[in-house]
Amino acid sequence: MKQVSSNWFIEVQAPGSAHLYNILSIYYVGSTKYQEVYILELSELGKTLILDGKVQSSLRDEHIYHEVLVQPAMLTHPDPERVLVIGGGEGATVREVLKHNTVKEVVMVDIDQELIELIKRYFPELHQGSFNDPRVKLVFDDGRKFVEKCEGGEFDVVICDLTDPLKGGPSVYLYTVEFYSEVFRVLSEDGMVAIQAENVRSPGECFQSICKTVKHVFPTVVAYSTFIKSFDAEWGFVIGSKRFNPLDLSEEEEWKRIEERGVNLKFYEPRIKKRLFTLPKGFLDGGRISTDSNPIYSM
């Protein structure tokens, strides 16, 4: 099936279902060494980044996704100074990390340098200059290989903003127990990881499997979700922590940290955390531990 046909973009979301968006403008259509890239203006979503046929970020609600991915973990940590972002080619995840005045260095590792150059040229609204911040170090490498080469205890927070674990895709082995064990190793003694964890209602139980896999490695694990219009789904996130639990941080203390660190937010705030972290009955049922020999795949 052609995904760009006449004035329409077709996003296949699952076997047997798809979304149809009217294309209002075309900024870029092409491929890098690793993935197919579209940057389109779509009806309902506005300017949108699409990778391998899947909507990744749109101006309509990327701030919701990126704030919910980054801020709960960053605010839970009492003093996040060194942060590792794996993936996040749009630069928006780094943008959210840099809102904290405690941060001294952000290392962003992405395998696809061509994608980042395309984002810089065609979609600066996402990174908002974050690539040029002197605290940011860009590394073009496989995220897993980079982590395996790191010394232990290097980072306070790790953010995994990865593409879906599609079969044959570049991110499949960044959702396994072996990878999360390496993440655990490179975190400081009170470190934590935040992970984008797929559609909570995925037919392949990807969200549930990611949660189970992280629980196999970290002593404290919490899952949460919010609705993302661009994905037309309740989207899941997982935090794995060595010491601190986001649910133990009071609303008053979280507001205090937001103010002291000068964090400017458009969507996330302490009063909605309870809603995000309260999952309906059955949301975590099912799934399995993902391993290198038997990884999970997104459908």
Enumerate the active-site residues: 161
Residues 173, 111: Cα–Cα separation, whole Å: 13
Enumerate the β-bridge partners of residue 160.
Answer: 86, 195
Q: Extract the runs of DSSP E, i.e. beta strands, from the chain.
A: 4-5, 8-14, 17-31, 36-42, 46-51, 54-58, 82-87, 105-110, 136-140, 155-161, 187-199, 220-228, 233-241
Residues 220, 192: Cα–Cα separation, whole Å: 9
Q: How many CB atoms lie within 10 A of CB 270?
A: 19
Residues 118, 124: Cα–Cα separation, whole Å: 9
Handedness of CA 168, 292, 171, 163 (dihedral sign): positive
185 CA to centre of own chain: 20
N-terminal to C-terminal alpha carbon distance within the chain: 16
CA angle 218, 172, 213 (to 5 degrees): 20
| Ordered DSSP codes for 66-79 | HHHHHHHHHHHSSS
Handedness of CA 80, 234, 160, 209 (dihedral sign): positive
Enumerate the β-bridge partners of residue 105.
Answer: 82
Residues 160, 238: Cα–Cα separation, whole Å: 10
Q: Which residue has the tokens 């290989």?
A: 145
- Token pair of 31 as six digits: 């491929």
